[in-house]
Amino acid sequence: MSSLRNSIQRRSHRERAQPLERARLGLLEKKKDYQKRAADYNKKKTVLKSLRAKAAERNEDEFYYGMLSRNGPGSSITRGSKRFDGTVENSRRNEAMSVEVVRLLKTQDLGYLRTARNVAAKEVRELEERWVLAAGGELEEEESEDDDDFGMGGGKKKQGQKKAPKKIVFCDGEEEAKKAKEAADDDVQWEDEEDDEESPKAKEAERKAQNLEKLQKKLLSARKKLKALSDAEFQLEVQQAKMAKTATSGGYTKNGHKIKVRERKR
């Protein structure tokens, strides 16, 4: 019977569409859509309720790095505020640190700069050794506009090549001139064959020159980095010396006078 009932053509049931006047609001909401929306709303309401309870019962002295601020919604609720408006009072705690604390922080920075400078100095030494081995001689120091302080210049000095002297041959007749021309062509062909034989050596020399140029650029960059770290370390040492409780020898006052510390006779 069920197969017979299913074989009979039935009327297709269609869901009611959104009226034309409300077409701008999208599809018509059905009961199942409302149920999902209501469940989501109730879930969010439960989460917010639990978060408000946690914020109201939290310990004011408790702190985690995940917290955005020390004064959050919990403190506003305990103060009697009806709701949290999203603003945080003194969240960053921008209080001026004491001189001792700042000096301690600068000491830590100075230690980091010294470590970085030692690493950079080691890198410079290794690159200089590689340069000497690759170039087969001592490190040449050239001065240029960009790298006056770093020993080696990035530019190359082109040496002027002398032109080969031309040979002038005087001939008595046309036959003698033809023979001289054929002999000259043979000499040129022999020189070209010689150049072809020496081409691998030329390629090797060119590759070596390219490697030396790359090594030179690395060395210049490493020297710049080393100088920048050394300057930063010196400036930090001067700042730390000026922040000491007692005057430190070697510093300068605002008026430009050198600070000298009198030592007791030993």
* 138 and 234 housed in the same domain: yes
Q: State whether 128 and 32 are in the same domain.
A: no
Q: What is the mean pLDDT of residues 105-132?
A: 90
**To 10 degrees, the CA torsion angle through 47, 49, 51, 56?**
-170
Taking only the tens place, the pLDDT of each residue in 197-214 is 557 888 888 888 888 888
Q: Do 145 and 44 fall within a single domain?
A: no
Is the Cβ–Cβ distance between 71 and 88 less than 8 Å?
yes
Query: Is 255 inside a domain boundary?
Result: no
Interatomic CA distance for residues 158 and 171, integer angstroms: 40
How many domains is the chain partitioned into structurally?
2
More confident residue, 85 or 10: 10
Q: Indicate whether 31 and 135 sit together in one domain.
A: no
Q: Answer yes or no: are the C-beta atoms of 247 and 259 closer than 8 Å.
A: yes
Q: Where a domain ends, among 83, 106, 131?
A: 83
pLDDT tens track for 134-186? 876 544 444 444 444 444 444 444 444 555 556 666 666 677 777 777 777 66
Kindly report the pTM of this predicted structure: 0.40
Run of H or E including 180: helix 174-197
Tell me how far apart the alpha carbons of residues 228 and 211 are, in angstroms, rounded to a whole number: 26
Residue 65: give the domain boundaries.
27-83
Six token digits for residue 144: 């240029």
The CA distance from 46 to 67, in Å, is: 22
Which of 57, 95, 96 lies closest to 77 in space, CA to CA?
57
